[in-house]
């Protein structure tokens, strides 16, 4: 399905770029692990291009073109793109799922901020839960309950990432904490970005974010038993490793401004062993009623898209609108730069 040379490139990209996923992927069966590595490589490279590059708008527009090419069966001549195109064909990947990721990256390129926790979940649904839904497709799972719990796990992971990276994001001019939390605390978000400090109010915001992540990690567990037997340990490992990052943030007093939490190799090994144990325990444990909880309002469209792609076609118009806005903005910036004025 995926050329071996392209797969090797994807493996290396994940090994150096996403240690947590690389560790968890070791417990996935090869039939899931290989396409999952290719999927994560494509998504990670796209995210890095927007997150780390200077030309964020151009990176988003380029990703849109790459998706068009992959779905047309004519991927860009690059390992991650060729591997992703193979996945699209083999698994009949609903296009709305990678487009949701693209939409989230477009929000990043615009520098969007989020008024409430619901807005942060909206963003997390796109940049993380969309990948979780795509992982379900790779496992050939399109059960609504399993998809809803996978989406919970994606949001939980992204909230953990946000909580861990508050200082790093602030120094890069990015803010993902809810604006209404700043208002409640009487803090000016722009003043925080200008001089990020781990005040008690900021630490409390990090704590609140991790409590929400914890709630969703617990909700997500019920869905793992709906996955293929061989895939369960790898997903359990991802859940435990990312939750471990949040626990490290808490252990540091929720100061993620002057510190960046990480998990040790020893912790990851313990998580892998615990993942194996919990996967086996799931064989004898009764099904939790949480399995049937409705999806988050913010992730419902992903569940519907994975189950019935035609039901979500209307979302393409919203994405096209955002891309047109970014393209117009990018063109205006290029025009001003060529005229000797600074680009916005």
- The closest of 137, 70, 72 to 305, measured between CA atoms, is 137
Q: Is 87 inside any structural domain?
A: no
pLDDT at 342: 31
User: 65 lies in a domain?
Assistant: no
**pLDDT > 50? residue 84:** yes
Residue 316 clears pLDDT 70, i.e. is over it:
no
List of long-range contacts for 49-57, beta carbons under 8 Å, 24+ apart:
50/105, 50/108, 50/109, 51/108, 56/108, 56/109, 57/109, 57/326, 57/327, 57/329, 57/330, 57/333
Backbone angles phi, psi at 201, to 5 degrees: -65, -40
Give residue 187's pLDDT. Answer: 97
Q: What percent of the chain has pLDDT over 90?
A: 61
Alpha-helix runs per DSSP H in 165-264: 166-171, 179-185, 189-194, 200-224, 232-251
Q: Per the domain annotation, does 24 fall within a domain?
A: no
* 261 band by pLDDT with thresholds 50, 70 and 90: very high
Residue 321 binned pLDDT confidence (cut-offs 50, 70, 90)? confident
Instruction: Write out pLDDT tens, residues 97-153.
Output: 999 999 999 999 899 999 999 999 999 999 999 999 999 999 999 999 999 999 999
Instruction: Give the pLDDT score at 286.
Output: 62
Among left, alpha and beta (phi > 0; psi -120 to 50; other), residue 11 is alpha
Give the pLDDT mean for 297-315.
80
- The answer to whether 148 touches 295, Cβ cutoff 8 Å, is yes
Choice among 15-24, 56-65, 90-99 with the minimum mean pLDDT: 15-24
Asked whether residue 129 is assigned to any structural domain, the reply reads: yes
Total of domains in the chain: 1
For residues 11 and 18, what is the distance between their CA atoms, to the nearest angstrom? 10
Q: Are 75 and 2 in contact (CB under 8 A)?
A: no
CATH number where 220 lies:
1.10.600.10
Question: What pLDDT score does 232 carry?
Answer: 92
| Residue with more model confidence, 80 or 316 | 80
Q: Provide mean pLDDT across the span 286-297.
A: 88
Distance (Å, whole) CA 178 – CA 183: 9
What letters, b where the CB count within 10 A reaches 16 and e where it falls short, cover 290-317? ebeeebbebbbbbbbbbbeeeebeebee
**In the chain, what's the furthest Cα-to-Cα distance?**
70
- Residue 312 pLDDT: 54
Question: What does pLDDT average to over the chain?
Answer: 87
pTM for the predicted model, two decimal places: 0.89
Pick the residue with more confidence: 3 or 223? 223
CA separation for the pair 344, 14 (Å, rounded): 33
Domain that holds residue 151: 94-331
pLDDT of 272 over the 80 cut: yes
Q: What is the pLDDT of residues 43-69, one digit of tens each?
A: 877 777 777 656 788 888 888 899 999
Q: Which residue has the tokens 């189950």?
A: 307
**Which one, of 217, 171, 165, 238, lies nearest residue 14 by Cα?**
238
- What band does 314 get if pLDDT is binned at 50, 70 and 90? low
Task: Choose among 4, 96, 98, 39: nearest CA to 310.
Answer: 96
Which helix (DSSP H) or strand (DSSP E) does residue 278 occupy? helix 265-281
What pLDDT is attached to residue 17? Answer: 63
For residue 33, pLDDT over 70 is answered with: yes
Whether 287 shows a pLDDT value over 90: the answer reads no
pLDDT computed for residue 328 by the predictor: 83
* Residues, the chain: 344
> How many CA atoms does the CB half-sphere of 159 hold within 13 Å?
30
List, for residues 191-203, the tens digit of each pLDDT value: 999 999 999 999 9
In a domain, 79, yes or no: no
Average of per-residue pLDDT across 236-260: 95
148 assigned to some structural domain = yes
State the pLDDT at residue 28: 85
Q: Considering the domain boundaries, does residue 14 fall inside one? A: no
Tokens of 293: 């909880």
In terms of C-beta density within 10 A (0-12 exposed, 13-18 middle, 19 or more buried), how is residue 201 classed? middle
User: What is residue 289's predicted lDDT score, i.e. its pLDDT?
Assistant: 84
């Amino acid at each position: 399905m995926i050329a071996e040379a392209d797969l090797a490139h994807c493996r290396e990209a994940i090994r150096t770029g996403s240690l947590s996923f690389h560790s968890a992927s070791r417990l996935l069966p090869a039939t899931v692990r290989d396409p999952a590595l290719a999927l994560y490589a494509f998504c990670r490279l796209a995210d890095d291009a927007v997150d780390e590059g200077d030309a964020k708008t151009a990176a988003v527009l380029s990703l849109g073109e790459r998706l068009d090419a992959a779905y047309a069966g004519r991927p860009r001549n690059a390992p991650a793109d060729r591997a992703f195109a193979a996945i699209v064909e083999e698994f009949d990947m609903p296009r709305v799922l990678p487009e949701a990721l693209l939409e989230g990256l477009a929000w990043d390129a615009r520098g969007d901020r989020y008024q409430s926790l619901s807005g942060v979940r909206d963003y997390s649904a796109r940049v993380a839960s969309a990948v979780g839904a795509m992982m379900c497709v790779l496992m050939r799972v399109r059960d609504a309950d399993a998809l809803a719990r996978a989406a919970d796990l994606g949001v939980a992971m992204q909230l953990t990432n946000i909580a861990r990276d508050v200082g790093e994001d602030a120094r890069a001019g990015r803010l993902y904490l809810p604006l209404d939390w700043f208002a409640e605390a009487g803090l000016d978000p722009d003043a925080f970005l200008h001089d990020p400090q781990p005040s008690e109010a900021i630490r409390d915001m990090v704590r609140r974010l991790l409590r929400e992540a914890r709630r969703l990690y617990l909700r997500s567990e019920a869905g793992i038993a709906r996955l293929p037997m061989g895939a369960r340990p790898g997903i359990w490992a991802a859940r435990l490793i990312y939750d471990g990052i949040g626990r490290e943030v808490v252990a540091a007093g929720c100061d993620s401004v002057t510190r960046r939490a990480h998990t040790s190799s020893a912790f990851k090994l313990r998580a892998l062993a615990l993942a194996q144990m919990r996967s086996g325990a799931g064989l004898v444990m009764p099904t939790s009623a949480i399995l049937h909880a409705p999806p988050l309002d913010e992730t419902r469209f992903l569940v519907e898209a994975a189950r019935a792609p035609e039901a979500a076609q209307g979302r393409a118009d919203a994405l096209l609108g955002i891309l047109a806005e970014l393209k117009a903005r990018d063109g205006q910036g290029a025009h001003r730069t060529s005229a000797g004025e600074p680009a916005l």
